[in-house]
Structure 1
């Protein structure tokens, strides 16, 4: 064979060998690794942040938040009102009807979903009964053990005395004397009584242990049952139909409360634009019902148009002033939203006024502040990182890591999103689920 051809064959053999060695390194299936976060239970809040300034003797616009016919005006121009005093009332007959209808619909939705307040109440009563029974058993069995201990101690003392007397009689009269035989009979009886008392004491202790364990198990069972019922109730209450009915009920209650216009701050009425019997329609809700001059400091802020739609009257806010420590937080409430816009450096803003709920003598007119408006808040809800939620064909899904370490996709219903990168999970996940936020297939 020519040397060139022989050399080529060896080169091909070597190349095939190298490919065989390299193939597993480049083409073997690599294990996928997951980065997970635990689904937790807690509070989810959505915040709008802004800056503001403190002013004194500000003019406040008084506006109803709902439409209706003016039923009664409770004040007059020039009147001094305390915070919370009623300015005027709308006819609330329709609102009461809507509230009752919404309440019945909500109760029906709860009943249809299997949620029942009675079951929760009965389970709580069972827990209370089991707790009372445990205390009663512990007290009664303790008394029985103490009585048995007292009986045993008395029997032991009697036995010790009988033994001492018998030993003394043997010394004085001899072991075979009638006195010794009588003393021995007494000692035998005392020994029997002591043994019986010891058995009774041991039985009392064991009986106490068994009865207390039984009562504790009963309490534990009832607590677990209550927890399950409460968990089921909470889960069913988050069902879409129940949630919708509940929201309608809460809205009806809110609308009824809004039928009374109250002074948001202490001040003097300077203007009233409506009379009894006149109608406030949706087209003139933005027109002020009246005006007043505040006697307290008012915090004023400009909110960007991107956020103003989420800001509502009576929402709460946390305020910190630049002149004071950042750790000192004051509570405030939204009392006015100006419907007219203001353009600042080519950006549209809306003026919002706040009333401070806890005044401090150190506060001075003109002080600047940082304001966090609490738009929405949900307490005791399940939440996960927002980035774990995907959208597919109009549905929201989350991947979770199952017990075998495999990824499983589940459909979820989400609630509010916080500014901290978390989102409320209304249904689809349980507390403690391992949610996949990212994965790496090794390639």
Structure 2
């Protein structure tokens, strides 16, 4: 009896614990999640329309001009993109050719920049550098000779042409052989000039092509200036000599001639040194330029240089696009395959922009007319493609179409503002009849490789558009920015979450 009571109590405890666990688990929320994925989402506007006969499409040039050619006739069949008429366009054609040539030039420059200099170009640059180096050597040799020749002319001017009428000319007390008011100044200057010639002559012994020829030329110029000043004093004294006993006019004239020649020679060699320095400077500058050119020729193009040239290519491409657009405006092309019904213009006639030039209808002569509510019309544009099914053939036969026109004015149907929208059928193998009911899905937007989640996961709170995410057993609400929505209940997430994030699609508290 004691054992039965204990067993009963144990069973009751087990039952109580099981009941507690059951009720605790029953209070846990039920959560369903799905992962955000990368994929393609298509936004569509779905409407119902009716097939009707195609109205005449009136075509006009976008610009005025003289009609140059007609390439269709009334009743002829034309294909999509076929040329119907053209204006005179020699200027536009030339502009297009010029733009294409400029683009080709920039593309070639980019290719050359990426490829780098050719071996032949490097060789040419190296030969230019060798020529520049040779010119530098020649100019240094020339300047060296000018300095040496300047000393010889200066030495001759003083020690031969002046010293002929001086006693003890190279000593410390030289004397003029004639009287002159400034003979003391001349004699002192002769002593100084002698020191200059001695110093200059000594420096020439060590002078070579490896010497600092610019510094040597500067020193020579200073010495020549001193000697020129001395010769000017001597010339003034000689020109003032009067004929007297023991000094004939012939002798005086000879001295005057020698001093004049000495002055000319010194002036000439001084000018030669100046010219030689300028030539050396110019040739060394050219050599430096050729060295830089060779470095650039051997170096690969920088990223910056390539980026600049790529920008020039894009600019040239933009010019081609503008030229093509200008040329295209002189052509009238068929927007669809069909039959020409009217051509009111003639070759040679001057037409203005937007004047009807050609009228045509589609070959099958049918289109779709539908009315799109104002909430959806902002998504639709002329040229948008569409999938069409006809009730007569069922959902298995899918036809293609595109939006050809949207009325700018609204049409009120049952109190709702709608806009009449016309679609043109693409190529079709089925027989279409007027009055058929058409189910139209217009593709208004398509985005690839974007984050997509079910639309039912999106909530709209006080803070904005929200999504609940579930991670590591925790639930969190985040703000998101949504994009386009698809007809199958998916929505694009522009920002807020990334692919792989678990989003809550269902929750039962």
TM range (shorter): 0.3 to 0.5
- Highest Rg: 1 or 2? 2
TM-score (norm 1): 0.45
